[in-house]
Amino acid sequence: MNNQNQPSQKIQNPAMQVPKTPQMNDRDFINDMLATEKYMTNSYAVALHEASHQHLHDDLLTIFNETQHAQRSLFEHMFKNGWYTFDAESEQKIQQSYQQHAGYSNQFPYGGVQ
């Protein structure tokens, strides 16, 4: 399937009507919450790598998981409402990327992942 010359497709649900006003609307609030949850998830991941005490690590892991679930829930809500989109990629580009990155496994220690 060759889609190189075709305009890119968007992967999304139907867009909801969002009023164009200076006040924040539901989409704006949820988008802000999603950005915050993404930032917190990344920050907790760093903290997990550096936690030297097991109980601290366990507590951070619990909080990380809760934050990650909140982030996913917000993302799913935005996608369902048509507020979060993706560009579809052609099969050819996906295959090229796969071939490019498949060769990297020979750089892994102990024979790589198959």
- What are 79-105's pLDDT values in tens digits? 999 888 888 888 999 999 888 888 787
Does any domain span residue 47?
yes
What token pair was written down for 54? 């097991």
Does any domain span residue 40?
yes
Q: Is 86 helix (H, G, I), strand (E, B) or coil?
A: strand
**34 within 8 A of 25, measured Cβ to Cβ:** no
Query: Predicted confidence band at 2 (pLDDT cuts at 50, 70, 90)?
Result: very low
Chain center to CA of 56: 26
Q: How many domains does the chain have?
A: 1
Does any domain span residue 62?
yes
Query: Predicted confidence band at 16 (pLDDT cuts at 50, 70, 90)?
Result: low
Does any domain span residue 36?
yes
Does any domain span residue 7?
no
- Domain range for 34 is 25-83
Query: Predicted confidence band at 1 (pLDDT cuts at 50, 70, 90)?
Result: very low
Does any domain span residue 110?
no
**30 within 8 A of 74, measured Cβ to Cβ:** yes
Cα angle: 95, vertex 98, 104; to 5 degrees: 155
Tell me which DSSP letter residue 84 carries: -
Does any domain span residue 90?
no
What token pair was written down for 79? 């996608």
